[in-house]
Amino acid sequence: MRGFETFVSRVTVAFGGLILCLMVVQIMLDVFMRQFAGAGFPATAELVAKYYMVAVSFLPIAFTEIKRRHVEATIFADALPARARPVLLFGGFALSLVIYALITFGTAREALRQTSQGAYVETGTMNFLTWPSYWILPVAFGLMSVVLLLRLVGMATGSYVDHAHDPLEELDSHAGETH
């Protein structure tokens, strides 16, 4: 399980980093070429919107869960007795799994449809294929579903324990180092 999480994290950082860099470089190239070569880099807006943005928005979802960085409000749950908290957490993971699995199914079906049509958009005088970009979603949401499933298994078997993460306590414990 650890191994899988490490793998997902590494792949996300490598691939996501690549996409972020491509995005910076291509937009810069587009700006430069427009100024100094007349026309910009072909299909920049389409490539950024349909591929880079979809990838940057959704591929890190699983990685974000691995690092427990999805936004939640813990203020009410923290007020509950300690025994109730894992129950809530388990319920949250289960609901998340149901929803992400549904989205995975729905976006995969949509990607199949777009693929069978060979979806493209016209940019300038050329046709820019968009159908492959639809596959980013089922991959990203599927990955998230797997991570959530592993969380549920981990909680059931007791191998996953949520650390009550209090940033302020951590900060105090580091205070000696920084000052």
Partner 1 sequence: ETMRTTSAFGPSHVQATKVYPKLFEKLKEFTGGRWEGVDTPSGLLSPGEMNAGLRDGVSDMGPVILPYFAADYPESGLVAELSVVGRDNRAIAGAVTEYIVNCAECQAEFKKFGQVYLGADATTLYALLSTKPIRTLDDMKGLRIRTAGAVFTRLVEALGGTPAQMPSNELFEGLSQGVIDATYSSIPDLKNARLYDVVKYVTEINQGVFNAAATNNASRMLWERMGPEDRNALAHAAQYGQALGIEGWREAEAEARAEGAKKGIEFITPDDAMLKAANAFTEQHLASVVGTLEQRGVTDAGAKVAKYIALVEKWEGLVKDVRTTDDYAELRYREIWSKIDFSKYGE
Partner 2 sequence: MDPLSIGILCVVCVLALIALRVPIAVALITVSFFGIYGVTGQIPAMSMLSTVPYNSSASWTLSSVPMFLLMGFVTYHSGLTRGLFDAARVWWGWLPGGLAIASLAGAGGFAAVTGSSVACSAAIGRIAVPEMQRAGYDIRIATGAVAAGGTIGALIPPSILLILFGIYAEVSINALFLGGFYVGLLSLALYMAAVFSVYLMAPERLPRARSYTFAEKLGATREIWPVLVLVIAVFGGLFTGYFTATEAGAVGAFFSIVIGIVQRSLTRERFVESIVDTLLSSGGLFVIAVGANLFTRLVAMSGLSHEISQFIEGLGLGTTGVLIVITLVYLLLGMFLEPIGAMLLTLPLFLPIIGMHGIDKIWFGILVAKLLEIGMITPPVGLNVFVIHSVSKDFVRLEQVFAGIIPFLAADLILVALMIASRSLF
Q: Which of 6, 57, 127, 159 binds partner 1 (CB under 8 A)?
A: 127
CA distance 69 to 141: 16
Which two three-digit tokens encode residue 20?
């972020």
What is the rounded CA–CA span in Å between residue 100 and residue 61? Answer: 10
Q: Which is nearer to partner 1, 40 or 86 (CB)?
A: 40
Query: CB 71 → partner 1: shortest distance, Å?
Result: 25
- Report how far residue 76's alpha carbon sits from residue 158's, in angstroms, rounded to the nearest whole number: 24
1, 4, 20, 156: which one contacts partner 2 (CB under 8 A)?
A: 20
Task: Closer to partner 1 by CB, 120 or 160: give it.
Answer: 120
Give the helix/strand (H/E) hosting 94.
helix 84-117
Binds 132, which of partner 2, partner 1, none (CB < 5 to 8 A, cut-off by type)? none
Write the CA distances from 112 to 46, 57, 132, 135, integer angstroms.
20, 21, 10, 8
Q: Which of 8, 43, 133, 147 binds partner 2 (CB under 8 A)?
A: 133
- Does position 45 interact with partner 2 (CB under 8 A)? The reply is yes
Apex 82 CA angle, 78 and 85, nearest 5 = 65
The 10 Å Cβ neighbour count of residue 132 is 13
Give dist(CA 65, CA 144) in Å, integer: 8
**Residue 166 binding target from partner 2, partner 1, none, CB below 5 to 8 Å by type:** partner 2
Instruction: Enumerate binding residues for partner 2 (CB under 8 A).
Output: 12-13, 16-17, 20, 23-25, 27-28, 30-31, 35, 45, 48-50, 52-54, 56-64, 67, 69-77, 88-89, 91-92, 95-96, 99-100, 102-103, 106-107, 109-110, 133-134, 137, 141, 166-168, 170-171, 178
